[in-house]
Amino acid sequence: MKYFVRSLCLALVTFFFLSACDMERNEDRIRDGHARVNVYLIDAPAAYDEVWVEILEVKFLMKGDNESNESAWINLPYEANDNKINLLSLTGGNSEHLGEIEVPAGEISQIRMVLGDDNYIMQNGQRLDLKTPSAQQSGLKLKVDKPLEAGVAYDLVIDFDASRSIVKAGNSGQYILKPVLRVVAEELATLEGTVLPLEAGPVRVSAILGQDTIGTFTDDNGFFLFRGIRGGTYNFWFLPQEGYLDSLIQNISVPVGPVTRLEPIILSEAPEENGDDGNGGD
């Protein structure tokens, strides 16, 4: 009898374990005829302490649907703390996961990001509100034209360039938010690396491809990441804090597909200035 009870308990435990695993697999499985899309937000550096934007909605439009038909837009489930994000926290490989959604296989035509009115910058402890033109209240429409294959998961990255998106209105003291964004597919190219010593950071890292330059900063661990960039042969310029020399590495191949990892970049200390005034001694 004891043997029977032990066997029954073992069978029940095994059943529930396998059922739980199967449920997890089912939750992870993409529905037939659909593709899964993860959307991330990143930022380029800007000369402010903080840049806060209020994001109310993110929507998709599939190719063939009429953009004037509001019911054709697919809402991305998105929840953030008060819907506000500090863009300058999204450098050094950091990103904000805006949400995940399954959409019918086909092609995403556009993404629309709807901003609220509570947008501002912080500079030297002072809050400066950003005025948002009324024409943007219906949302910022970004062309994507991204084919989606059924059963496949994709990452889309929205790059919100804060430095180019904030415009000072003459001598009025007002700042206007005119967002400059680009959307890239994660399967383009991704590069990551580390800059040492940590005392040199945060280090500004510029990726240069022809006439195009994209920038980011290293984080507290010296790590940096460029995601969703075009494949090609890049030059990388590292601009550290005072006391260290900048560095340029050239002709780095960044192919589409697997993550390209650079060998650690070791920066040299700047030579100490000679205090000799040239008069010499006796």
The residue-averaged pLDDT of 27-39 equals 77
Query: Which tokens hold the place of 208?
Result: 């240069």
Query: Which tokens hold the place of 222?
Result: 């010296």
Tell me which of 282 and 198 has the higher pLDDT.
Answer: 198
The whole-chain average pLDDT of the chain stands at 81
Query: Which tokens hold the place of 68?
Result: 């004037």
Share of the chain above pLDDT 70, in %: 80
- Tell me the pLDDT band of 22, cut-offs 50, 70 and 90: very low
pLDDT computed for residue 103 by the predictor? 87
* Nearest residue to 192 via CA among 281, 258, 244: 258
User: What is the tens place of the pLDDT at every residue in 114-156?
Assistant: 888 889 999 889 999 998 876 566 688 888 888 887 877 678 8
Contact 42, 95 (CB under 8 A): yes
Contact 156, 144 (CB under 8 A): yes
User: What is the tens place of the pLDDT at every residue in 55-96?
Assistant: 988 998 999 999 889 899 999 887 666 788 999 888 777 888
Query: Which tokens hold the place of 213?
Result: 């330059």
